[in-house]
A and B are shown apart, each in its own frame.
Chain A
Amino acid sequence: QEQLVESGGGLVKPGGSQRLSCGASGFSVSDYYMAWIRQIPGKGLEWISYITSRDGTIYYADSMKGRFTMSRDSAKNSLYLQMNSLRPEDTALYYCARDHGRGHDCWALDIWGQGTMVTVSS
């Protein structure tokens, strides 16, 4: 069964750092575009970053550039999101997700993890 499981969330102080992990099973993260998405509780969805399949190019939303770093470990079939200089407004549920297109552009996310909550508060 294809699934994603995030971990690493928790309570962090403003200005602090947190590293999120996303483990995949049932498919290889290297075969698909993979993304991080966040959702402030009770609010909408916001794209953070994505990584391409073959060459592993990473793109970031403008508002996340410089503070968030996405990476991939193909051997562990996992993704990571390093978040630095965290602010209270970064408090959200963080999801990793898989793009539906394999080998072609699709830009739709068909597999989502359950999310991991990050709370930034003093």
Chain B
Amino acid sequence: QSALTQPPSASGSLGHSVTISCSGTSSDVGGYNYVSWYQQHPGKAPKLLISEVSQRPSGVPDRFSGSKSGNTASLTVSGLQAEDEADYYCSSFAGRNNPYVFGPGTKVTVL
């Protein structure tokens, strides 16, 4: 069972926005600014979208943005496109003995 909590599904209309939450505790999400987000299409490896709460790696569109408040992090996908339909996972650092704690994933559907 994941230590982080994500909604199992989320949806948004083409061109609109969707926000996914990732809830943890003060021992993970709330305790460090090391929350990351991944996108995974069926049959593909995860792709890093956001690191360190809100940093976008080179090549990731600015439609993807991350934030954090207390023990909850969020990923917002703006201007939804058909190719954004995928599973999204959050991950948080929880100490050097448990650095990659993943959420259960959220399936995003583009309507």
Number of chain A residues close to chain B: CB under 8 A: 21
A46 and B91 contacting across the interface, CB-CB below 8 Å? no
Bound complex: CA A107 to CA B89 (Å): 14
Contact B36–A108 (Cβ < 8 Å): yes
Task: Tell me the interface secondary structure of chain B in the complex.
Answer: loop
A23 lies within 8 A of chain B by Cβ? no
Known pairs A107-B36, A109-B46, A114-B45; A37 contacts B100 (CB<8 A): yes
In whole angstroms, how far apart are the Cα atoms of A50 and B100 in the complex? 10
CB within 8 Å of A: which B8-59 residues: 32, 34, 36, 38, 45-48, 50-52, 57
With both chains docked as a complex, state the minimum distance between the C-beta of B76 and any C-beta of chain A, in angstroms. 18
Q: Are A47 and B99 in contact (CB under 8 A)?
A: yes
Nearest A residue to B32, CB-CB: A107
A68 at the A/B interface (Cβ < 8 Å)? no
Asked whether B96 lies within 8 Å of A108 as measured between CB atoms, the reply is no
- Contact between B96 and A44, CB atoms less than 8 A apart: no
Q: Which residues on B sit within 8 Å (CB–CB) of A109?
A: 36, 38, 46, 48, 91, 100
Partner of A110, one of B51, B98, B103, B104: B51
Which of A107, A114, A115 is most buried by chain B, counting CB atoms within 10 A of its CB?
A: A107
Contacts of B32 in A (CB 8 A): 107
Closest 5 CB pairs of A and B: A108-B51, A108-B36, A112-B45, A47-B100, A107-B93
Residue positions of B touching A, CB distance < 8 A: 2, 32, 34, 36, 38, 45-48, 50-52, 57, 89, 91, 93, 96-105
